[in-house]
Structure 1
Amino acid sequence: MIKCHLSRLMGERRLKIADVARDTGLNRGTITRLYNETASRVELNDIEVLCRYFDVDITALFELIKDE
């Protein structure tokens, strides 16, 4: 399973979904799905934009969790 840490990153910076959508130009629905971890696929460009926006490596945004 892949865990998305977007909600944590946003919480640390006290950002709302609307803030990230406005600042990055990404679709609000895309950000909402990543925030709620309901996204089944994500465009590589969107990942790049978010990593640059939060100034983090991709491993800070996504984590591979081993199935138990």
Structure 2
Amino acid sequence: MLRCHLSRILGERKLKITELSRATGINQNTLYRLYNETATRVDLGVIYTLCRYLDVEVGELFKLPDE
């Protein structure tokens, strides 16, 4: 399963999920699922919006776990 590094990125930037939700228009529940790595599917538009807003590449936001 993919690892989502949203919690790390937000922590480094001292951003809260509520702030991110307001700025991007992404539903807070979607962001909480990504933050807690419990999301099973994510819309490509959400990934695009997060990457653009956070100025990160998809590979920085999501990683394959080392097995």
Normalising by the smaller structure, the TM-score range is over 0.9
Q: How many residues were matched structurally?
A: 67
Per-residue displacement from partner, 1:17-61 (whole Å, max 9, x unpaired)? 101000100000000000000000000000000000110100000
Task: With the length of structure 1 as denominator, give the TM-score of the two structures.
Answer: 0.94
Q: Which residue of 2 aligns with 1:43?
A: 43
Task: With the length of structure 2 as denominator, give the TM-score of the two structures.
Answer: 0.96
Identity %: 55
Q: Which residue of 1 aligns with 2:58?
A: 58
Q: Which residue of 2 aligns with 1:18?
A: 18
Aligned mates of 1:56, 1:17 — CA distance in 2:
17
RMSD over aligned CA atoms reads 0.8
